């Protein structure tokens, strides 16, 4: 696979007036990423929650607003799918809670390809807020996605803080992990960032963080969010000394761009000062990793 430009968003959730305002905002953001040369654009976890502003009867009711999103999911996905095809770009759409057949809401991130195909990764491990307040359920299975850009995994926010989840995706062939996030404190942002950089180090791969930012006190689901978009790799041969490929400013909305080069992953795993990826099993008894399903988006 050849190198390509990736755009990761620090995305401000806004109190939009109607569907047309939302569609115009997403189209504007995607168009800007495409004009910047991006072949993959990553939106944050729970960025889809700004759609709760469209229903004035439920906007102040946490569980009511989550339920109301259900009627918009198909339109959201159709919009992102159309934009991916129009711009010839891969899109990791802002995640949102989706009610599944068993009645449980689960956090869905969706990856759209220029081919017209899409895949879904559910969040695996729930935070306390999701478990105790939101009543969002844990999802499964883990996926990796075959794309024209290579094999990609998604580890939503808290998931990237758990080594075995990402290791399973890497052993299934992923060299790029997307970590869309939503954190209401800088403590939370840095937990996810440290997790992302640790996963990049131990797997000698790229990990990308895309956070929600800004003030959304009008919705009980988010409030004020903090973070910075970033692209990380291992601090070793061919990568920056600190492993930071690209980094935005904290709480500054916008795209952060960086190059993803699979050849650098191959080289550092072959010639690096250390072989974290290869030496995983040297920790001792092999740990059983969760199963991973491959989804073809080509």
CATH of the domain at 168: 3.60.110.10
- Residues 96-113 have a mean pLDDT of 96
Helix axes 73-87, 19-35, angle to 10 degrees: 30
**Domain span at 191:** 4-296
- Residues 254-274 have a mean pLDDT of 98
| pLDDT attached to residue 100 | 96
pLDDT tens, position by position, 33-66: 999 999 999 999 999 999 999 888 888 888 988 8
At 203, is the pLDDT very low, low, confident or very high (cuts 50, 70, 90)?
Answer: very high
Half-sphere exposure of 94 toward its Cβ, with a 13 Å CA cutoff?
Answer: 24
CA-atom Rg of the chain in angstroms: 18
Please enumerate in sequence order all residues whose Cβ is within 8 A of that of 146, keeping only pairs 6 or more positions apart, or say none. Answer: 294, 295, 296, 297, 298
**Residue in this structure with the two tokens 């109190």, named with its chain if needed:** 15
- Over the chain, what is the mean pLDDT? 96
| pLDDT attached to residue 68 | 86
At 216, is the pLDDT very low, low, confident or very high (cuts 50, 70, 90)?
Answer: confident
Distance of CA 163 to the CA centre of its chain: 16
The continuous run of DSSP H or E covering 166 comes out as: helix 163-171
Asked if residues 202 and 280 have their Cβ atoms less than 8 Å apart, the reply is: yes
Q: Is the pLDDT of residue 287 over 90?
A: no
Q: Select from 129, 205, 224 the least CA-distant residue to 160.
A: 205
Q: Which residues pair with 136 in a beta bridge?
A: 105
Number of domains within the chain: 1
> Comparing 22-31, 168-177, 214-223, which segment has the lowest mean pLDDT?
214-223
- Is 0.95 topped by the overall pTM? yes
| pLDDT attached to residue 60 | 86
């Amino acid at each position: 696979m050849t190198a390509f430009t990736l755009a990761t968003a620090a995305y401000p959730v806004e109190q939009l007036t109607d569907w047309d305002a939302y569609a115009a905002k997403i189209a504007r953001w995607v168009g800007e990423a495409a004009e910047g040369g991006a072949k993959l654009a990553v939106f944050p976890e729970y960025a889809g929650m700004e759609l709760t502003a469209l229903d004035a009867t439920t906007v102040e009711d946490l569980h009511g607003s989550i339920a109301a999103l259900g009627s918009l999911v198909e339109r959201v996905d159709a919009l992102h799918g159309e934009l991916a095809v129009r711009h010839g770009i891969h899109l990791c759409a802002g995640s949102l809670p989706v009610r599944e057949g068993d009645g449980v809401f689960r956090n869905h991130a969706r990856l759209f390809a220029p081919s017209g195909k899409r895949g879904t990764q559910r969040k695996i491990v729930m935070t306390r807020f999701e478990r105790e307040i939101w009543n969002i359920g844990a999802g499964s299975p883990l996926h990796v996605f075959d794309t024209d850009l290579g094999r990609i995994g998604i580890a939503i926010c808290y998931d990237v803080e758990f080594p075995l989840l990402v290791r399973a995706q890497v052993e299934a062939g992923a060299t790029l992990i997307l970590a869309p996030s939503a954190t209401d404190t800088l403590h939370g942002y840095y937990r996810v960032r440290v997790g992302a950089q640790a996963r990049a180090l131990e797997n000698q791969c790229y990990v990308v963080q895309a956070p929600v930012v800004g003030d959304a006190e009008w919705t009980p689901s988010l409030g004020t969010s903090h973070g910075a978009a970033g692209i990380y790799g291992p601090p070793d041969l061919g990568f920056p000394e600190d492993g930071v490929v690209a980094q935005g400013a904290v709480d500054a909305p916008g795209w952060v761009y960086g190059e993803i080069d699979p050849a650098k992953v191959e080289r550092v795993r072959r010639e690096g000062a250390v072989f974290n990826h290869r030496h995983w099993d040297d920790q001792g008894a092999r740990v059983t990793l969760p199963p991973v399903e491959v989804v073809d988006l080509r």
